[in-house]
Amino acid sequence: MRSSDYINYFTEIKMLNNPEQVALLEKARYEAFTNQKLSGKSALYFIISLLVAMLIAIIPPYLIGFSLIVNAIFLGLGILVSQFLSKWLNGRLLYQGLKHVISSNGS
């Protein structure tokens, strides 16, 4: 996960400029995945997003039919949903670290 993917993603830090956001997000990533030990959840979320993509890509062709266009459409849709789901789930983990970093900086 790249912290730069989450610039302007969280309302708590949107008002900061990009380098400040990246610095806070790096601290939040370190907090979430090292101190709070959420890397296992991140791996689980990655597997879940891959399974969702596979289900979207595999099941509809069995129901609709096996044509190249149908397979390509559902494969693309599965990839898009997987990317969105992965970013959203990892964003929730990063948010937990960000809350801790913001609260410790404010004190």
Q: What is the pLDDT of residue 59?
A: 85
61: nearest Cα among 76, 50, 47: 76
Residue 105 is predicted with a pLDDT of 74
pTM: 0.77
Q: Report mean pLDDT in 10-residue bins for the chain, 107 residues.
A: 83 88 90 85 89 87 80 89 91 90 75
Q: Which stretches within the chain are classed as H helix?
A: 18-30, 39-64, 68-106
pLDDT at 107: 47
Q: How far apart are CA 79 and CA 33, in angstroms?
A: 25
